Structure formats: structure tokens, C-alpha cells
Chains A and B, each alone.
Chain A
Amino acid sequence: MSFWEYANPQKFMQLSRKVMPWVAGASVLCLVGGLAWGFFGTPDDYKQGSTVKIIYLHVPAAMMAINAWVMMLVTSLVWLIRRHHVSALAAKAAAPVGLVFTLIALATGALWGQPMWGTWWAWDPRLTSFLILALFYLGYIALWQAVDDPDTAADLTGVLCIVGSVFALLSRYAVNFWNQGLHQGASLSLDKEENVADVFWFPLLVCIAGFVLLFLALVLLRTRTEIRARRMGALLARERMG
């Protein structure tokens, strides 16, 4: 039994049918539990007041926004090297989810920034990087939509994903460089583990787990949909031929 067996669409469908309900259930459990714990069960921060509760959404969403792109990069590479269709479709399935997480990170960041920094939007390096990341997601999704032939689309988006990853990293450092000395201290040190007190850390962990599981469940569901759509396309094409 090698790992690559699950690159077979049928094997993947069988496995994902079994796994998906559990992942989805666990993600609902973790999300509801973690967010409720964070929202109702944790004290206010002495400096930030009740806005600290936003961390339970902001940090996991931001983490997963980046991880989703990394996952797309890996699956794109697998597709380009080993030509497993499930891999390409998983990358396609993950992109909108990653975009939504990016938007959550941006929205909560703006809402958090307003009371803390006195502005909805600062051209803080991290905020700017996420805006650029959102643009990369948009371009990637748009390219999938624009190309008719599914294999060509998978190839082109794979190449775009690889080149885009390099430029996204470059942009990250460029943005850091660009804003040096303008918004010093604007980014919150709460992101770092050692700066978060345990009271906030444990519910945060549960929320991160919830977001990871939510991402997994959504990607499984959407990959299944994509596989079905591909199969339908193949059947319809055969119908037209016959």
C-alpha cells in the first residue's frame, strides 16, 4: 500500500467518503468549542481590552491562508511531476478556501487595527503582504476559470503557482524593506508564542486546530466535487462522440 495509491480517483473517493464526515465533525467541534471558549471564557487583555478576542479568528485564518498556498504549491508540483489528476484538482479546490481565509485575516485585521492603531488600514508590512497574497489567489483562480481544457488549465496554473510562490516570497521581503521605519512597532507581538499568556494560548490552539480541520474538510469536499465534475465532463464528451 503506497501513499500514491490515493492518487487514483476511485481510491481517493472511497477514502475521502469515509474520512470526510469525521474531519468535518471534528472541525465543527473545535471551531465552536475554541471560539466559544475564547469568546466567553477568556479575560480581557490589560492593554488591548476585549479586542484580544479577535486573535482566535485572526491568527488561525492568517496561518491557514499561507498554508493553503503552500499546499497548492506542493500539489501543483506533484501534478507537474507525477501527473496525478487528484493532485491538480486538490490545488484547484484549495484556492477559493485560501482566498476566503485571506479575506478573514484581512477583515479581522482591519477591525482589530481600528481601535488599536486608530486606523482601519495601515500599510503595515504584514497587512500589505496579505493583500498581495489575496491578489495572487485571485489571479490563480481566474486562470483556472479562463482555460477550457482541464489538463491545460492544470498545467498552466501549476506553472503560475510555482512562479507566483517565488514572487510572493520576494514581495514579502520587498514589503518589509519598503516600510522600514514607517510603522515601527505596528505589528502585534501577540503573534509570537512566548508573548501570549496561557489563558489565551490554549483556546487559540483549539481554534487553530479547528481552522486546519475546516480547511481539510473543505478541500476534501471540493476535491470530490471537482473529480465528479471531471468525470461528468468525460461522460458528456463520450455521449457527444457516440
Chain B
Amino acid sequence: MMPELGKYAGAVLGSYAASIALIVVIVGWSLWRAAKVKRALAEVEARAATGTGASTTTGAGKHG
């Protein structure tokens, strides 16, 4: 199964390990932050809906 990497095994495996680790870090961080912000927004929106009764329609900004 494992291909014969010869004397360069360190470099090849190191590259794959480093790259995959970096990709995992950015993906994990993005997902974590997405989940955190989503949860926080839901909380704030629930509060806004119950607190004032007015549902807010303006999104991330005034565009146009």
C-alpha cells in the first residue's frame, strides 16, 4: 500500500503533513468561528425579537 519513498521520505511526508495540518487549521478555525458567530447572532436576534417586537430587516448593511 505505502509507496516506496526512498531517501526522500522525510521531505515528502513532511510536506504532506505540514500542508494538511495548515489546511485543517484554517478550515477548523473558519468552521469554529462560523458556528460561534451564528450562535451569537441567533441569541441577539431572539433578544431583538422579544425585546422590541420589531423584526429587523436590514442585513449586513445598507446596500444599493
Contact = CB atoms under 8 A, between A and B. Distances in A.
Any A–B CB pair closer than 8 Å: yes
Contact of B23 (A100, A221, A239, A242): A100
A50 B9 contact: yes
Contacts of A236: 44
A16 B48 CA distance: 25
A54 interface: yes
Chain A contact residues: over half helix, strand or loop, or mixed? helix
Interface string B1-31: 1011111110110111011001101110111
Contacts, number: 129
Nearest to A225: B34
Nearest to B43: A232
Contacts of A229: 37, 41
A83 B3 contact: no
Chain B contact residues: over half helix, strand or loop, or mixed? helix
A234 B44 CA distance: 10
Interface residues of B, number: 41
Q: Size class of A's contact patch? A: 35 or more
A100 B19 CA distance: 9
A34 B58 CA distance: 43
Interface in B34-64: 34, 37-38, 40-41, 44-45, 47-48, 51-52, 56, 58-61, 63
Contacts of A114: 11
Contacts of A228: 34, 37-38, 41
Contacts of A226: 60
10 contacts: A7-B63, A9-B60, A10-B59, A50-B4, A50-B12, A54-B12, A112-B11, A225-B37, A227-B60, A238-B48
